Structure 1
Amino acid sequence: MSQPDAQIMDLAAAGPLTHRRVLRISIPIVLSNATVPILGAVDTGVVGQLGLPEPIGAVGIGAIILTSIYWVFGFLRMGTTGLTSQALGARDRAEVAALLMRALMIAAVAGLLLISLQGLIFWGGFALSPASDEVESLARDYMRVRIYSAPAAIAVYGLTGWLIAQERTRAVLVIQVVMNGMNIVLDLWFVLGLDWGVTGVAFATFLSEWVGAAVGIWFCRDVFRTPAWKDWARVFDRQRLKRMALVNSDILIRSLLLLSIFTSFMLFGARFGDVTLASNQVLLQFLNITAYALDGFAFAAEALVGQALGARSRGALRRASVLTSAWGGLSCIVMALAFAIWGGAIIDLMTTAPDVRAVSREYLPWMVAAPLTGVASWMLDGIFIGATRSRDMRNMMVISALVYFAAVLALLPLLGNHGLWLAFHISFIARGATLMWKYPGLEAEADRSLPA
């Protein structure tokens, strides 16, 4: 490709499916993910310099409410990746362009809807997460500014998915670095330089999200030089819109079920006291580290499996699944070893409370095992997203959630918090096992034509 980040990907120029190609896709995603926790730390750190607890709580609760709502639209990233990679594999460039337009339109409509419903959203958020009057007042100031970047924040999901499908992950890295880097610089300027407090943090995020969306559109600029992007008959084609809606709705249900597992894990853990609850929260950060590292290989699986299925190549689909999973598995082995060796030191960095440190060390073996028990579920998620087998993802997640809650009911009275962690691991294994059971159907589908 002469300009890999400025035009629709040429599959012939991408070369054979090799380890090098997998790493070329994966590494920029891993690097872009590394900027996320840095931004969170700076957001907290700058308001922490104000010397009061209320601004810290306000930014925390405001960000959680809005981020949780935006997270629901993560289906747009996953669905766009799967559908676009399949269109690319089928060499249907007009559909690749139409998918970008559909994603941007969904983002615009969803964002404007959130802005119009902001009063109801704020009320619901504080009803679920009550805070003191002062914290709630500051948090509302924060959200009143940041809600106006909702269309941009959701658009970034669609743009990212579209670029990942074409293996243009360097562009994704640039978007994240520009967006998060600008956010950090503006945080420092608005809060510490101009003394805007919580509102300064909100304006920093507002501006950076719009700039991030603009940078993403700039990377897609060549699409707008062709007539395909405004082929409205194709963009609004009923069958294609229906397929996109079905894929995205299934992924949304699957994501909500996954969220229910993580949320209930924290709620069940609260039964064992504040120290154990804090310990569980500390240890879950190990899981976040693992997920950030695995995202690169899972995203590579999404792109390569989707392309293979679009081209109806069983051999390419299997090779994509094997190569990306091999790298994901190797990464998880390395992380398990790292957690075993340096887990105690990582815990000490996260908390200074002696009792939380002690309890966290007691449960650390569960986090050493987590990369190993979870790798199959994470990698198969990527494979199934690329194949847009969203119904299977939804149904297998229903089974896995039921298995998890049954395990909690059985193990919690017997083993306490250890039983909770065991049930958590059982949910990983159930997700991996059920998706593996469905995997042969993907290879069979590669021999059949895809729906129109």
Structure 2
Amino acid sequence: MMRRSEFDREISRIAIPALGTLVADPVVSLVDTAFVGRIGVPELGALAVATAAFGVAFFLFNFLSYGVTPYVANAHAAGDTQRASQLIIAGLFAAVALGVASSAILIAGVGPILDLMGATADVVVPASTYLEIRALALPALLIVLVGHGAFRGYQDTKTPLWVSIGISVVNLVLDPLLIYGLDWGIAGAAWATVIAQWVGAGAFLWLLLVRNREDLGIERVRPTRRDFGKLFGAGWALIVRTAALVLAFTMATAVAARLGTVVVAAHQVAFQL
């Protein structure tokens, strides 16, 4: 029989909202799949290929979230607000820089990327449209990752949960409006996601740097090279681990794409479920 610990309540307070966030985050892709699937099979296949390509860039920089959390937590526990502030600001700077660079690479290389993914002729045009627009969300997405990591470092998992729910709700409202109401098709799905992610990024920036700045003790400081070094140093193991995982998923989508539009469309539905 398991004995109850004095820390059970504290663990539950942190873990349950964090679990809710893990559930809420994939809802955006699931909603996109549901709405785009009603446009047509080529569009659904295009969504699968473009999402897989976009996912590589996103997951490779996932370390921004998990790298920020322990350093902020250690600094916060030690009462070193300046150190915590420097690490958060360093994370935000890195998110913007990596996001802009990755976005530019995705947009410039959309043709070769889709060729590498094995996109068929009827999928290439809608996939290009979706990926070029969706790439604009990368800086916002990485800012959101840093926001998640920062608040977890302060042992606050409820705030990221509410932001994740907000992102999902914005996307859920905009998807039918832009896809069907304005007849933008798959481009509408991409714009809905871009807007939702930037709303989430704006929310985290406002919460960290304005609304909760004094409560969290976040100071207006300049990060040092050491801060960036610690952030990226902690991320290498995660990058290798994530790259291996994402490579498997991406290869599965690429194989499905080479088998035909219907197959890759079915793969997208099954993967989201």
Calculate the TM-score normalised by the size of structure 1: 0.52
Name the SS for the 1:97 alignment partner.
helix
1:262–1:64: structure 2 CA closer, same or farther, 3 Å change rule?
A: closer
For the pair 1:158 / 2:141, whether they are aligned, the reply is no
For the pair 1:45 / 2:34, whether they are aligned, the reply is yes
> How does 1:348-427 map onto structure 2 within 5 Å?
none
1:36–1:250: structure 2 CA closer, same or farther, 3 Å change rule?
A: closer
Quote the residue 1:328 is aligned against: none
1:252 is matched by which residue type in structure 2?
I
1:180–1:112: structure 2 CA closer, same or farther, 3 Å change rule?
A: same
Quote the residue 1:230 is aligned against: 220
Q: Which runs of 5+ in 2 are unaligned?
A: 257-262
The worse-fitting range, judged by mean Cα deviation, of 28-37 and 223-232 is: 223-232
Quote the residue 1:203 is aligned against: 191
Quote the residue 2:159 is aligned against: 171
Is the contact between residue 107 and residue 131 of structure 2 (CA under 8 Å) also seen in structure 1?
no
Quote the residue 2:239 is aligned against: 252
1:170–1:259: structure 2 CA closer, same or farther, 3 Å change rule?
A: same
The structural deviation recorded for 1:198 is 0.4
The structural deviation recorded for 1:244 is 2.3
2:23 is matched by which residue type in structure 1?
A
The structural deviation recorded for 1:40 is 2.7
Quote the residue 2:227 is aligned against: 240
1:185 is matched by which residue type in structure 2?
V
Is the contact between residue 146 and residue 203 of structure 1 (CA under 8 Å) also seen in structure 2?
yes
Quote the residue 1:97 is aligned against: 85
For the pair 1:28 / 2:17, whether they are aligned, the reply is yes
Identity %: 24
**Partners of 2:248 and 2:186 in 1: how far apart?**
32
**Partners of 2:174 and 2:201 in 1: how far apart?**
17
1:226–1:22: structure 2 CA closer, same or farther, 3 Å change rule?
A: closer
Is the contact between residue 94 and residue 229 of structure 1 (CA under 8 Å) also seen in structure 2?
yes
For the pair 1:187 / 2:187, whether they are aligned, the reply is no
2:213 is matched by which residue type in structure 1?
V
The structural deviation recorded for 1:140 is 0.9
The structural deviation recorded for 1:127 is 2.7
**Partners of 1:75 and 1:161 in 2: how far apart?**
9
The structural deviation recorded for 1:248 is 1.7
Q: What per-residue deviation string (whole Å, max 9, x for no partner) do you get for residues 222-248 of structure 1? A: 33799963322xx12x33332222112
**Partners of 1:62 and 1:218 in 2: how far apart?**
30
Is the contact between residue 62 and residue 142 of structure 1 (CA under 8 Å) also seen in structure 2?
yes
Quote the residue 2:260 is aligned against: none
Is the contact between residue 171 and residue 193 of structure 2 (CA under 8 Å) also seen in structure 1?
yes
Q: Which has the higher contact order (CA 8 A, sep 6+)?
A: 2
The structural deviation recorded for 1:258 is 4.2
Question: Larger C-alpha radius of gyration, 1 or 2?
Answer: 1
Is the contact between residue 77 and residue 157 of structure 1 (CA under 8 Å) also seen in structure 2?
yes
For the pair 1:114 / 2:102, whether they are aligned, the reply is yes
- Choose the corresponding residue for 1:63, options 46, 51, 63: 51
> How does 1:244-323 map onto structure 2 within 5 Å?
244-259=231-246
For the pair 1:73 / 2:61, whether they are aligned, the reply is yes
**Partners of 2:216 and 2:14 in 1: how far apart?**
26
Is the contact between residue 151 and residue 160 of structure 2 (CA under 8 Å) also seen in structure 1?
yes
2:194 is matched by which residue type in structure 1?
F
Q: Which runs of 5+ in 1 are unaligned?
A: 1-15, 271-276, 289-349, 351-452
Is the contact between residue 46 and residue 192 of structure 1 (CA under 8 Å) also seen in structure 2?
no
Quote the residue 2:205 is aligned against: 217
1:192–1:98: structure 2 CA closer, same or farther, 3 Å change rule?
A: same
Name the SS for the 2:119 alignment partner.
coil
Name the SS for the 1:229 alignment partner.
coil
Equivalent residues, number: 258
1:205 is matched by which residue type in structure 2?
T
- Choose the corresponding residue for 1:86, options 74, 99, 108: 74
Is the contact between residue 25 and residue 168 of structure 2 (CA under 8 Å) also seen in structure 1?
yes
The structural deviation recorded for 1:163 is 0.6
The structural deviation recorded for 1:146 is 1.6
Is the contact between residue 97 and residue 223 of structure 1 (CA under 8 Å) also seen in structure 2?
no
